[in-house]
Structure 1
Amino acid sequence: MVKITRNSRIFKSIIKAIQDKKGENIVSLDLRKIPEAVADFFIICQASTTTQVKAISDFVEVKVKEDCDEMPYKHEGHQALQWVLIDYVNIVVHVMQPEARKFYKLEEMWSDAEVIGHDE
């Protein structure tokens, strides 16, 4: 099994896709030292409209397919577009509207994780 790091191609591809579509407040949570974590990394960003949530999440999938030839294991939230989750098994991407992000507080829930900002 390949160890994923912040230097992994898929990680960089996801961050770049989010930045290209103007995702805001981009952070990655390193969950590798947390036994109950379901992934190695969460990448979280926000978008102010449903249109932008869709644009970012669609582009992440396109870019990762192009750069890494990887398809998500699953994705959820494409109906309501308040919070889209794209699961690449080792990395889970969360594209959220600000209200959803405030409400679910993922960064607080995983407060043991090392957090790095990725805004340009």
Structure 2
Amino acid sequence: MESKQLLEMVVKAADGRRAEDIVALKVDEISPMADYFVIMTGGSDRQVQAIANAIIEKAHEDQVNIGSVEGKNHAKWVLIDLGDVVVHVFREETRSFYNLEKLWSDAPVVNVDEWVND
């Protein structure tokens, strides 16, 4: 699966669990770690876990290799490494504290609106 297709899969799975403020950053030209970082917010610990589980389940369905999943038990910040796409699912206060969008501000933002239901 190409990284752009993987990005679409992640965004759709997250949106299906009502992830908020989904932001995708194209980091391939500034970091060798991945092609995209996807950052999103869940309104509660339970929702953060549900979003992460939906992404993981969809990755399994699509036979996408999952490198690692970190933070799922604490549900303040769950990191899902899908290789070319690294997903960050945050609680709002944790997202504000770490402010990854500012840290990676050199990365162009990818328009994911076409994959998100309003």
| 1:28-43 matched pairs, under 5 angstroms | 28-34=24-30, 36-43=31-38
2:42: which partner in 1?
Answer: 47
Structure 1 partner of 2:88: 94
Residue aligned with 1:26, SS? strand
What are the residue-to-residue correspondences of 1:1-120 with 2, within 5 Å?
A: 4-5=3-4, 8=5, 10-34=6-30, 36-66=31-61, 68-118=62-112, 119-120=116-117
Relative to the length of structure 1, the TM-score reads 0.88
Query: d(CA) in 2 for partners of 1:87 and 1:76?
Result: 9
**Per-residue deviation at 1:62?**
0.5
Q: TM-score, normalised by structure 2?
A: 0.89
Contact residue 70 and residue 78 of structure 2 kept, 8 A: yes
Gaps of 5+ in 2: none
Preserved CA contact (<8 Å) 2:65 2:83 = no
Q: 1:27: Cα distance to partner?
A: 0.8
Q: What is the DSSP-based 3-state SS (H/G/I as helix, E as strand, rest coil) of the residue aligned with 2:47?
A: helix
Percent of aligned positions with the same letter in both sequences? 34
Pairwise CA RMSD = 1.5
Return structure 1 stretches of 4+ with deviation > 4 angstroms.
Answer: none
Change over 3 Å in CA distance of 1:3–1:16 after alignment to 2: closer
